[in-house]
Amino acid sequence: MVHMKVRGVALDQQMNPVVLLVDQAETMALPIWIGQAEATAIAMQLQGVKPPRPMTHDLLRAVLKSLSASVTRIVVTDVKDSTYFAEIHIATNGTPLVIDSRPSDAIALALRSEAPIFVTPQVAEQAITLKKPLDEEMEEFKKFLEKVKPSDFKGTVH
């Protein structure tokens, strides 16, 4: 598995939100198109914005904590017919649980839980190889997003 981190959330040319995962060495980037609500939840967490009331992912984290459970990691496991799949790995009283999830929800929960994010080698094959420093690549990626739509990719929908 490849350990990833969230680099940010952006909008493509059609104003669809995209979460950008990068590997730890920042040599590859994986764009995943997500819903607006999840994009907002991810962006707020990345920016350290605390809502006045718990959002859905905050609520889920609080429920897990009250049940003495914790998110140990999330894994983006597969992409089929332009849809990504993920799993949330949870430990509760020493018992591991694996829950099916959309990547966007799993990522939002991982950020709130400070849990690591992984992708399988199969999913990593969908990534874009970065050949320049990430900041330069991000500028090019933003320009790229202005020109593409989700259907241009093999696996693009959450």
User: Would the pTM count as exceeding 0.85?
Assistant: no
At the topology level, CATH places domain 2-152 in: Bifunctional nuclease domain (3.10.690)
Average pLDDT over residues 28-35: 94
Contact 82, 153 (CB under 8 A): yes
Cα gap 19→31, rounded to integer Å: 6
Cα gap 7→131, rounded to integer Å: 16
Residues 81, 87, 88, CA angle at the centre, nearest 5°?
A: 150
* Cβ neighbours for 48, distance < 8 A, ≥ 6 positions apart: none
| Top-confidence range, 78-82, 106-110, 138-142 | 106-110
Average pLDDT over residues 83-104: 96
Contact 87, 75 (CB under 8 A): yes
Cα gap 42→33, rounded to integer Å: 13
